[in-house]
Amino acid sequence: MFLDEVTISVASGKGGDGIVHFRREKYVPRGGPDGGDGGRGGDFVLVCSASQSTLSHFRHKRRFVAEHGRAGGPSNRSGGAGRDELIAVPAGTIVHDDQEHRRLGELIGPGDRLVICRGGRGGRGNARYASSRNQAPRMAEKGEPGEQRRLRLELRLIADVGIVGVPNAGKSTLLAAVTNARPKIAEYPFTTLEPQLGVADLDDEVSLVLADIPGLVEGAHQGAGLGTSFLKHISRTRALIHLIDGSASDPLADYSQVNAELALFEQQLGLKSQVVAVNKTDLPEVSAKWPELEAEFHRRGVRPRPISALARQGLRELLLEAHQLAQQVVVEPEEQLPRYSPEPDGTQVKISRAADGSWKIEGRAIERAAEMTYWEYEEAVRRFQRILTRLGVTASLREAGVQHGDTVRIGDHELEWQE
């Protein structure tokens, strides 16, 4: 099944916890702190792979979490880092943040990487807090939480030339005749329900990637016939082969309808270079009306090519002209692929009061500091209080009217305010 749009939930790994530990050695009564740091959590990374052609591998699994870092150990041993979660996606994948409704980047060529969520850093062990004034610190940090996102992945096929036309114009027959692709072919419209790719070899050094786009009907730009699902795949093509059914009752009307749908969906699609080909000219009735049809196209400034995809007549000349048009298109250089999209300023803090009289503190930095605090160690609690003061939370709460004994909630933690 062809899948070109999917929503997934992803998360990076949590950092490993630092530990509180003191060296125990015979004849060394005061060995000193030797608690090691936790390991870094794994990143979540999307990687462009040539072996993937659709997003169908996300059909049964849509939740991905990178490995957590390991806790530190005694003797200043650092915990191991968590493995990165590398997920393969096909070329042409556009990545959107589904919650913030913004584009994070796209993966165009094999090997492109996009770091979506950074792994949390490992917590520091108590050996890191030792100083001349505090030679036996009884505090450490828990690992930093990982990041989470909900992503919308959108695939836009990458091809040199797109084959467009009304249903049953012979697009699949043309693709099968010039490539090794084997699309479904039948004598009724809408046999092609998903875009198909094929590679046509023009000679030993020149090849052309063709995309067969399912038939476009009137109103396709508004979704009729699943048009919007297919039109987006034409946006990356350099040129188009506009295939006309020569046996249709009004080929010129079909030609105008498809061009109108392209322009209504996206202005740039209507400006793409086209090779117009009239198919099924091997049929006597089409061959008989070809001179009149050619003259009508000429009056519109269009030079059509007579072909027969079934009889394989005029196909090489058609592909050569399409290749020439594709080569004339100047491809704008891709913007530098972002490696990581940083979060907004995490030091900002929002303070609100609930109906039950408790206080709620929201902010990326303060919530992470609370997650990384060992509440069972008094020194760690005092350090957290200094963070509250440094971020201006203490002053803001007092200004808002906090009283001794009030409940203060920070993330999943519930504290009691004491002056």
**Tokens 């650092």 sit at which residue?**
78
Query: What pLDDT is recorded for position 332?
Result: 52
Beta strands 161-164 and 113-117 are unpaired
Distance separating alpha carbons of residues 327 and 407, to the nearest angstrom: 68
Domain 350-416, architecture per CATH: 2-Layer Sandwich (3.30)
Domains 1-155 and 350-416 share a fold: no
Tell me what percent of the residues of the chain surpass a pLDDT of 70. 87
Angle between helix 393-400 and 378-390 (nearest 10) = 70
Sheet holding 305-306, edge to edge: 196-201, 207-212, 161-164, 239-245, 273-279, 305-306
- Please check the confidence at residue 93 and state whether its pLDDT lies above 60: yes
Between 198 and 40, the higher pLDDT residue: 40
Q: Measured between alpha carbons, how far is 213 from 326 in angstroms, rounded to an integer?
A: 17
Separation of alpha carbons 253 and 48, rounded Å: 41
Q: What percent of the chain has pLDDT over 90?
A: 41
Amino acid, res. 62: R
Neighbours of 24 (CB within 10 A): 10
pLDDT band for position 339 (cuts 50, 70, 90): very low
Q: Are 377 and 392 in contact (CB under 8 A)?
A: no
* Mean pLDDT value of segment 147-159: 86
Instruction: Provide mean pLDDT across the span 282-294.
Output: 91
User: E strands, 214-339, where?
Assistant: 239-245, 273-279, 305-306
Q: Whole-angstrom Cα distance, residue 314 to residue 210? A: 17
> Which comes out higher in pLDDT, residue 405 or 194?
405
CA distance 145 to 367: 10
> Residue 308: what residue type?
S
pTM: 0.70
Strand 93-97 to 148-155 pairing: antiparallel
Smallest CA-to-CA distance from 89 within 66, 67, 113 is with 113
Residue 183, phi then psi, degrees to nearest 5: -70, 160
Cα–Cα distance measured from residue 255 to residue 297, given in angstroms and rounded to the nearest whole number: 10
What count of other Cβ atoms lies within 10 Å of the Cβ of residue 226? 16
- For the chain, helix, strand, coil in percent to 5 are 25, 25, 50
CA gap 47, 104 in Å, rounded: 14
Helix (H) or strand (E) holding 55: none
Residue 329 host element (H or E): none
Q: Give 68's DSSP letter.
A: P
Average pLDDT over residues 396-410: 91
The arithmetic mean of pLDDT across residues 204-214, rounded, is 77
Is the model's pLDDT at 43 over the cut of 70? yes
Burial 70-84 (b: 16+ CB within 10 A, else e): bbbbbebbbbbbbeb
End-to-end, the C-alpha distance of the chain in Å comes to 63
Q: Give the angle subtended at the CA of 230 by the CAs of 226 and 233, to the nearest 5°.
A: 165
Superfamily for the 1-155 domain? GTP1/OBG domain (2.70.210.12)
Q: Are 359 and 349 in contact (CB under 8 A)?
A: no
Query: Is residue 178 predicted with pLDDT exceeding 50?
Result: yes
- The predicted pLDDT at position 220 comes to 41
- 364 pLDDT higher than 60: yes
Cα-atom radius of gyration of the chain, to the nearest Å? Answer: 31
Identify any residues that bridge with 102 across adjacent strands, giving them in sequence order: 97
Q: Taking the alpha carbons of 86, 88, 92, 98 in that order, is the dihedral positive or negative?
A: negative
User: Cβ-count burial of 340 within 10 angstroms (0-12 exposed, 13-18 middle, 19+ buried)?
Assistant: middle
Task: Write down the mean pLDDT value for the chain.
Answer: 83
Query: What confidence score (pLDDT) does residue 229 get?
Result: 55
Architecture of domain 161-328: 3-Layer(aba) Sandwich (3.40)
pLDDT in tens, 308-335: 988 889 998 999 998 888 888 765 544 5
Residue with the larger pLDDT of the pair 229 and 71: 71
User: According to the model, what pLDDT value does residue 168 have?
Assistant: 79
Domain ranges of the chain: 1-155, 161-328, 350-416
Distance CA 289, CA 226 (A): 33
